Chains A and B, each alone.
Chain A
Amino acid sequence: EAGVAQSPRYKIIEKRQSVAFWCNPISGHATLYWYQQILGQGPKLLIQFQNNGVVDDSQLPKDRFSAERLKGVDSTLKIQPAKLEDSAVYLCASSLAQWTGGSGANVLTFGAGSRLTVL
């Protein structure tokens, strides 16, 4: 099966500029995640979608970050305006539906990530 597709792979911008990242999950995966991975740290969940609804966005800096998954398939993560501390790899992942119970054992499939450098 095709993996999780992300683009662009690399992006360099000046602070206060905007940037958008795109993700296409594995077909049939209802749950989509955006993680931020800062160098030397583990991935931090930014937002989690179940189909086209937001399940968790508690760690998303909503004054500058936004994300959407309009048709319950692909998703876009936007940063506007960017700050220096936003330099990181943005990882998209998908999994089968996430409800309580055994689905907590569902495996996430990650894309290769989008590396953002803010100058």
Chain B
Amino acid sequence: AQSVAQPEDQVNVAEGNPLTVKCTYSVSGNPYLFWYVQYPNRGLQFLLKYITGDNLVKGSYGFEAEFNKSQTSFHLKKPSALVSDSALYFCAVSYVAGGYNKLIFGAGTRLAVHP
């Protein structure tokens, strides 16, 4: 079965420090991978995606993610965290079923950046 796992419910980091939010997936075939962010009382917003090519993809607000095929991981990273990065982060994977693309999400990781 297709699945996405985010092993950490919450990640705490001090402002200015690097951050990593982990994601692993299980999908047959070549996956399309995404990160979305959710601020309080808001819908999900797209951050970045991996389709093919360079394993390091860059996205909005200084975030980047590294695709590792052998470890089936797609970890989200940022070199220097900001307090305003505090939010709920979701990893998602797209796969094909019944002739259409489907998108499934992980359970989410809450990022708390402390001043």
Which residues of A line the B interface, CB within 8 A?
A: 4, 33, 40-45, 48, 50, 55-56, 91, 93, 98-100, 102-113
A104 touches B98 (CB 8 A): no
Which residues of B line the A interface, CB within 8 A?
A: 4, 6, 32, 34, 36, 41-46, 49, 51, 90, 94-108
User: What separation, in Å, do the CA atoms of A113 and B34 have in the docked complex?
Assistant: 20
A113 touches B43 (CB 8 A): yes
Contacts A55-B98, A113-B43 given: A108-B108 contact, CB under 8 Å? no
A4 touches B43 (CB 8 A): yes
Contacts A42-B108, A104-B94 given: A112-B100 contact, CB under 8 Å? no
On chain B, the residues within 8 Å of A40 by CB distance are: 107-108
A-B contact pairs, 28 of them (CB 8 A): A4-B43, A40-B108, A42-B107, A42-B108, A43-B90, A45-B102, A45-B103, A55-B98, A55-B100, A56-B100, A91-B43, A91-B44, A99-B99, A99-B101, A100-B96, A102-B51, A104-B94, A105-B49, A105-B51, A108-B103, A110-B36, A110-B45, A111-B43, A112-B41, A112-B42, A112-B43, A113-B42, A113-B43
